[in-house]
Structure 1
Amino acid sequence: MADTVWWKSGTVYQVYPRSFQDSDGDGIGDLRGITRRLDYLAWLGVDAVWISPFYPSPMADFGYDVADYCGVDPLFGTLEDFDALVAEAHFRRLKVILDFVPNHTSIAHPWFVDSRASRTSPKRNWYIWRDPAPDGGPPNNWISNFGGPAWSRDAATGQYYYHAFLREQPDLNWRNPEVRAAMHDVLRFWLDRGVDGFRVDVIWHLMKDEGFRDNPANPGFTSGQAEINRFTQVYSADRPEIFDVIAEMRAVLAPYGDRVLIGEIYLPVERLVAYYGADLAGVDLPFNFQLIQTPWNARSVAELVVAYEDALPPGGWPNWVLGNHDQPRIAARVGAAQASIAAMLLLTLRGTPTLYYGDEIGLAHVPIPPDRVQDPWERNEPGHGRDPERTPMQWDDSPNAGFSVGEPWLPLSADAVARNVELQCDDARSLLTLYRRLLRLRRDYTALSTGGFRSLPSSNAFVFAYERHDADTTLRILLNFSASPQTVSDTGAYGGAWTVLLSTHTDRASSLHANDLVLEANEGLMLIRGWS
C-alpha cells in the first residue's frame, strides 16, 4: 500500500468532542480528553480521527454556530491543547481531520455583527439579505432544516436574512469573492497547524439560486416527516455553481500534499457521485450515507452497493458511513444482534469506512428525559432530536463510565456498567473485539483495504455475498441479515477450497467440508481461498 494515498487505504473515526472524554470534570468532553484517548484509537486500529467542531461558539447548535473559525472554545481547551493533540496523534501515526463549517456562522460572529449593523455595512453582502415579500413576509418559501421559515426579519434594517438551519446560524454568501477568500484563509490557518484534511459541513448547501425562486412542493411528503421535506430543495441547495467553490477549496489544499477533502452530502446516489466533479476535481470523498437510509435487509443493501459501485465515475473512490452525530445509532436501527453484521459490512466493502465513536461497543438508543434535552432540533420539532446518538463514551464501570468525574452533559446508557470499553476489550466474543479484528484484517490484506469488489449471486434472500480480491488474495464475505440459520449453496463450492478467516460467531470451526454452507442466525463470515 506504499503507493496508495492514506485516505483510500485507511479508516476514519469520528469523535464528537463534547462526549468522548472530559479531562477537567465539568461533564463536557474536551481536546485534552481526546489526547488522553489516542492510545485507544491506535490500539483499535483506525487511521484518522475526525473531530467535530470545537471552535468558539455560543453553542446554539453545539459548535456548528461558529463565532471564530481560528480558535478553540474555552469549553474544549486552547490552541495549545489542539497543537498538542495533533502532535500526539501524528506520533501515533494517526491523521487528524477537522470539521469545517463554511455554510453559516453564528449571529455572534464579528462578520455578522458588522453585516446586520446597517444596509451599507462593508460586510452586508457577506450574508444573504433580502427585502420582504410584497405581503411583508419572508422573501420565498424556503424552510429551515430544523423546522420553520428559513428567513428571519431584522427589525433594525427591515430586511430578512437567510438561515438554512437555526436563526442563530445565518448563511454566508458564497457568491461574494471576499467570503471565499476569508474562508480559504481559515483552511490555511489549520493546514499550517498540521491538520490532514477537512470534512466540509453541508457542502451541498453553499450555493443558492441567484434568483431565490420558490422551491417546488414535494409530492411525496407525508405527515410525520420533518418539515424540511415539504418542499424539494432544488433552489436552496445542490446548485451547479458549487463545483467552482469546491475547485477553489482543492486549490487551497493542493500545496500541502496528501490532504483529504470530504463533503457532507445528503443526496441520492446519482447526485452524490456528481460531487467527485469533472475529472475527479470535486471532493475526494462525497460522504455516502446511503446505508443509513436503506432498509436493513440483504436484498436492499446488495442492490444499493451494486448501484453505488456502478454509479461511481472512473477513478472515483467509494466510501461508506453507517453512523454519525446526526443519525440514530447503528444498534438502535438494526438491533444488537445485527450490529456485528453492520460492522463486518462497513469494514469489508470497497472504499473508505467512517466509524462513529461508541458504535464499536454497541451503544444504542439512550432515552433522554425531557428535562435533559439539549438538541435545538428536538425543541423545534419533537421526535427529531439527536441527543440519543451524542451521549458520552463509556470507558469502564466506574462512576460516569470513566467519561468524567462530574455529571455528564447527557445521560449514559442504562447498561453502562456492562457496556464499556474496558469490559469488552478483554472479551473475545465482544463487538469491540470484532471491530478490532476487522480493522487488523484491513491492514493485513490489501484485498480488503484497496482491492476490487464483486457481488456474488445468491438465491437466498437473507444473505448478501460478495468478494474482495487483489492479485494475491481472494476473500469471500457472507452476511446473514436474518435471525435464523440460512443455507448458501449457489456461490461456489466451499469444501477444501475455502477456509474461515473470521466469523462473528467465535465458535465457528476454521475448516469447511461441505459444498453447502449454513450461516448461523445473525452470522457474518469471511472466507479465504486456499488458506489453512
Structure 2
Amino acid sequence: MELPWFKKGTIYQIYPRSFNDSNDDGIGDLRGIIEKLDYLQSLNVDILWLSPIFSSPNDDNGYDISDYCAIMPEFGTMKDFEELLQKTHDNGMKLILDLVANHCSDEHIWFEEAKKSKDNPYRDYFHWEKPSEGGGPPNNWKSFFGGSAWEYDSASGEYYLHLFTRKQPDLNWENPKVREEIYNAMRFWLDKGVDGFRMDVIPLISKREGYPNAPNVGFRKIIEDVYANGPRLHEFLKEMNEKVISHYDAFSLAEGVGINHENASLYIDYDRKELDMLYHFDILECTIVNGKFEEASSFDLTNMKGIFKRWRDAVHKKGWLANAMGNHDFARMVSRFGNDTEYWSKSAKMLLIMQATQNGTLNIYQGDEIGMTNVALDSIDEVRDVQSLNFYKENTETKRYSNELALQMINKEGRDNARTPMQWNDEINGGFSKAYPWLKVNPNYKEINIAKQENDSDSVLNFYRNLLKIRKQHDVFVYGDFEELEFNNPDLYIYKKMYGTKKIIVLLNFSTTTHVANLNEEVKELINNYDDLILKKGFIELMPYQGVVLEL
C-alpha cells in the first residue's frame, strides 16, 4: 500500500514576520520567502508551513484574524501569495497554512456586528454570558495569556469569552453558520492549491455546556479537563474532514494543546477519519510544570525518553504524529535541551539526530537548521510577545518576582526567543532587513548565520542537509519499531529501530562527560556528529553530546 505523501516528509515552519524582509520595512514578507525558495529546497525539506498570513491587527502576531480570505498587507498581496504557492510547487515542495479556527479578531466584521445588539445575526457567532450573581465574570476561567478569559461589553451588559487576548474572541462552534464560515475559508485556500492546514489550538473549539468553573489545579490540567476535549469536538472534526479535507489531496495537522497520550487516538485513529496527525505538547513543555513563567524544572532526559515511549506506544499503528521539538511558541531547542555554549554545534546536531530518528513526520522550526539560540533581551521595552508582556504587567502589580527576575524568566521561556529574525549573514540586522526590525536580532548573528555555515562542510546547516537526505533514503528512520536500551540512564539515549530488513542503532550522549556504551554487533556508520567513531571490542565510546546512527 502506498503511504500518504506527508508521512515521510519533513515540515519546515516559517514565521513570515521574521524570515526575510524583501522591502526593508523591518517586517518579513511573502516576497522575502520567494527570494529564499532555493535555500529552502536545499535543506531537503518537503513541506513549508506558514504561520498566519491573513489580515490581522496583530494583537497576537497574526493569530487574531480579521479576514480569513485576505492577505495581511504588510506581508504582501494575494498575487504574491499565488506566486509563492506556484514556485513552492515548482521547487517540488508543498505548502500548508496556519488555520486559526477557535477564535478570530475583535476587528473581524463578525464581531463588530455582534457587538451592535443582542439580536444581531452575528451575535451567536461568539460566546456571550451575563455577569455572575456577584456582578463579575461568568466563571473563573483564566486566559492563556493571563487575567480573566471574559471581557465585559458595557453596551450590552454581557461578557464575551476569549481564551487568549481580549482582542481574540472565541468563536461559537455550536452555531452551524460559524462552522460553514470556517469551512468556506478552508475551501478558498484549498481551491487555490494549498496542501493542507496546521490547525491552531483546534482541541479548544467545543466548549463545555454551562461553562463550569475550573477546579483549583495546575493550568495544564485545566486545559486538558476544562478548555480542551469538549463534548462535541470529535463531531466537529469529523464534519470538517467529511465536508472539506477529504475532498482534496491535502492533510490536517493539529496543534495538540490539551491532548494527552491516552486520548490521542480519538483524534488521529485512521478509522475515525478526523485528523491526519498532531504534534503534542509533552516534549515541548517537558521543562514546564504548570505554565510558562510559573514553576519550572530542569531538563530530565529520562523523563523525555518516557514521553517519547508513551506516545509511541499509544498511537502505534493507529495514528500518526508530527515530531516537533520547537516552534514559534517555545524557546530555542538547542538552548532548552542542548548546550548552547561550549557544545553548541555538537548538541544542535545531536538533537536533530534524535528528532529525525523518532517515528513520525519531522517538524523543523526556522533557524534550528543553523542552531539559532535564545536571545537575551535587555529590558522589557525590547519584548514584543503579548504573553510575556502580560506576565510582566501582572507581576508588576502582584510583585511576586522582582522586575529583574521576571525579565530573566521571559528570556528563558518567552516566545520572542523563537521569533528573532533569521540570521542570514553577518551584515546589518543579520541580513534580515536594512531597516531596524520589528524584533531585536540576536546579537550572536555574526557568529551564527547561514552565510558563514553555507560552505563549511562541518556546519550545523550542512549536517541538517545531509541528515535529511539520508532520512529520505531509509524508511526505518520514519516507520521503524523501537527497542529501548539503557532506558534509565540519565545521560544516554540509546535505541534500536527495525523496519523490514533494515536495523539501526541510535546512540546519543546528552552530557558533557564521555560515556561508554555496550555494542556487540558489527556496524556501519550512517551518521556521526564527530569526525571520529571510537569503536572497541564490545563497546563504543561516546564523546560529549555525540550522536551516532549505525546500521546493524
Same fold, TM exceeding 0.5? yes
The number of aligned residues is 514
CA deviations on 1:94-133 (whole Å, 9 max, x unpaired) are 1101000011111110000111100010111010011111
TM-score normalized with structure 1 length:
0.93
Question: Kindly tell me: are residues 233 and 215 of structure 1, through their superposed partners in 2, closer, same or farther at Cα, counting changes over 3 Å?
Answer: farther
Which amino acid in the other structure matches residue 306 of structure 1? K
Whole-Å separation in 2 of the counterparts to 1:278 and 1:132: 43
- Give how far 1:375 is off: 1.4
Structure 1 counterpart of 2:306: 303
- 1:38 CA displacement: 1.2
TM-score, normalized by length of structure 2? 0.89
How far apart, in 2, do the equivalents of 1:133 and 1:340 lie? 54
1:482-510 CA deviation, whole Å, 9 max, x = no partner? 11111111xx514xx1022111112337x
Match of 1:234 among 214, 225, 239: 225
1:157 aligns with 2:149: no
CA RMSD of aligned residues (A): 1.9
Equivalent pair of 1:457/1:465 in contact (CA under 8 Å): yes
The question of 1:409 aligning with 2:438 is answered yes
Secondary structure of 2:311 counterpart = helix
Structure 1 CA distance for aligned equivalents of residues 220 and 300 of structure 2: 25
Work out whether 1:324 is the aligned partner of 2:327: yes
1:363-442 pair list within 5 angstroms? 363-368=372-377, 369-382=379-392, 383-384=409-410, 385-442=414-471
Residue 136 of structure 2 corresponds to residue 137 of structure 1 = yes
CA–CA distance in structure 2, aligned partners of residues 188 and 306 of structure 1: 37
Offset from partner CA, 1:125-184 (integer Å, 9 cap, x none): 010011111111111111111000011111111111000000000011000000001110
Q: Displacement of 1:516 after TM fit? A: 1.0
Q: How far apart in 2 are the matches of 1:75 and 1:81? A: 12
Amino acid corresponding to residue 384 of structure 2 in structure 1: Q
Give the secondary-structure state (helix, strand or coil) at the position aligned to 2:124.
Answer: helix
The corresponding residue for 1:466 is 495
Amino acid at match of 1:44: L
Query: Quick one: which amino acid aligns to residue 441 of structure 2?
Result: L
Distance 2:27 2:432 in 1: 9
Identity value in percent: 38
Return the match for 2:368 from 359, 368, 385.
359
Counterpart of 1:225? none
| 2:318 aligned partner | 315
Partner Cα distance (2:305, 2:328) in 1: 25
Say yes or no: does 1:521 pair with 2:544: yes
8 Å contact from structure 1 (residues 280, 316) kept in 2: no
The aligned runs of 1:41-190 (5 Å cut-off) are 41-190=40-189
Matches of 1:378 and 1:306, distance apart in 2: 32
The one-letter code matched in structure 2 to 1:499 is: K
Deviations 1:178-218 (A, max 9, x none): 00011100000000011101011101110111111111110
Contact 1:49 1:96 in 2 (8 A): yes
Aligned partner of 1:372: which letter? Answer: E
AA aligned to 1:435 is Y
What is the alpha-carbon distance in structure 2 between the residues aligned to residue 333 and residue 181 of structure 1? 41
Q: Which amino acid aligns with 2:242?
A: A
Secondary structure at the aligned position of 1:178 is classed as helix
Looking at structure 1, the residues matched to 283 and 303 of structure 2 have their Cα atoms a distance apart, in angstroms, of 10
Distance 2:490 2:442 in 1: 34
Task: Name the residue aligned to 2:520.
Answer: 493
Query: Which stretch of structure 1 is more off in the superposition, 308-317 or 272-281?
Result: 272-281
Which shifted more, 238-247 or 329-338?
Answer: 329-338
Question: Separation in 2 of the partners of 1:118 and 1:292?
Answer: 42
In 2, the alpha carbon distance for the partners of 1:398 and 1:367 equals 20
Unaligned segments of structure 1, at least 5 residues: 222-227
Amino acid at match of 2:152: R
Q: Is the 8 A contact 1:127 1:171 kept in 2?
A: yes
Q: How does 1:150-299 map to 2 (within 5 A)?
A: 150-218=149-217, 221=218, 228=219, 231=222, 234-267=225-258, 268-277=260-269, 279-294=271-286, 296-299=299-302
Partner of 2:2: 3
Q: Deviations 1:55-111 (Å, cap 9, x if unpaired)?
A: 111111111110000010110001111111110000111110100001111111000
Residue 528 of structure 2 corresponds to residue 503 of structure 1? yes
Q: Which whole-Å CA distance do the structure 2 matches of 1:174 and 1:157 have between them?
A: 22
CA positional deviation for 1:293 = 2.4
Partner of 2:399: none
Are the equivalent residues in 2 in contact too, given 1:372–1:410 (CA < 8 A)? yes
Provide the residue aligned with 1:343 in structure 2: 352
Q: Distance in 2 between matches of 1:503 and 1:236?
A: 44
- Going from structure 1 to structure 2, the CA distance change for 1:19 and 1:409 (only over 3 Å counts) comes to same
**1:3, CA displacement in angstroms?**
1.8
What displacement does 1:236 show? 2.9
Question: In the alignment, which of 439, 446, 449 is matched to residue 478 of structure 2?
Answer: 449
1:278: how far off?
A: 7.4
Instruction: Tell me if the contact between 1:217 and 1:232 (Cα under 8 Å) persists in the aligned partners.
Output: no
Q: CA–CA distance in 1 between the matches of 2:238 and 2:190?
A: 17
Give the superposition deviation at 1:458.
Answer: 5.5
Note the alpha carbon deviations across 1:444-472, whole angstroms, 9 max, x for none.
Answer: 21222333333234674421111233223
Secondary structure of the residue that 1:119 maps to in structure 2? coil
Deviation of 1:277 (Å): 4.8
Instruction: State the 1:276 CA deviation.
Output: 1.6
Check conservation: 1:128, 1:171, Cα contact below 8 A. yes
Paired amino acid for 2:255: E
Do 2:330 and 2:418's aligned partners in 1 also have CA atoms closer than 8 Å? Answer: yes
Please list the CA deviations of residues 355-403 of structure 1 after superposition, one character each: whole Å capped at 9, or x if unmatched: 0001111111112232222111122112454212100000111222111
